[in-house]
């Protein structure tokens, strides 16, 4: 099972990233938990300079932008290997 976290304040880009992550999970048909992290103390535990950020299985894979659904799918596929 994949553990996916969307890091951010809850802004529109954060919501969009969460939505794209959920769509990528559904497209792959894998078991995953998508969690929205808005607590600043939790966010700074990762090496993130700007939000939104995407964490897959504890590893920050992108920050400061909203990746495409295809990019997210690639991140998730790589995490499954």
pLDDT exceeds cutoff 90 at 78: yes
What global pTM score does this model have?
Answer: 0.93
Asked if residue 52 has a cis previous peptide bond (ω within 30° of 0), the answer is: yes
CA angle 66, 6, 14 (to 5 degrees): 50
Cα separation, 8 vs 55, in Å, equals 11
Coil, strand or helix at 33: strand
Question: Active-site positions?
Answer: 11, 14
Closest Cα to residue 54, out of 73, 81, 80, 41?
Answer: 73
Could you report the per-residue pLDDT of 8-63, keeping only the tens digit for each? 998 999 999 999 999 999 999 999 999 999 999 999 999 999 999 999 999 999 99
Domain 2-80 classification at class level? alpha beta
């Amino acid at each position: 099972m994949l553990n996916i976290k969307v890091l951010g304040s809850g802004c529109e880009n954060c919501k969009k990233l969460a939505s794209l992550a959920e769509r990528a999970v559904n497209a792959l048909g894998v078991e995953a938990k998508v969690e929205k992290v808005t607590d600043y103390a939790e966010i700074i535990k990762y090496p993130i300079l700007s939000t939104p950020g995407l964490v897959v299985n504890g590893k920050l894979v992108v920050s400061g932008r909203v990746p495409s659904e295809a990019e997210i799918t690639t991140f998730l596929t790589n995490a499954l290997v």
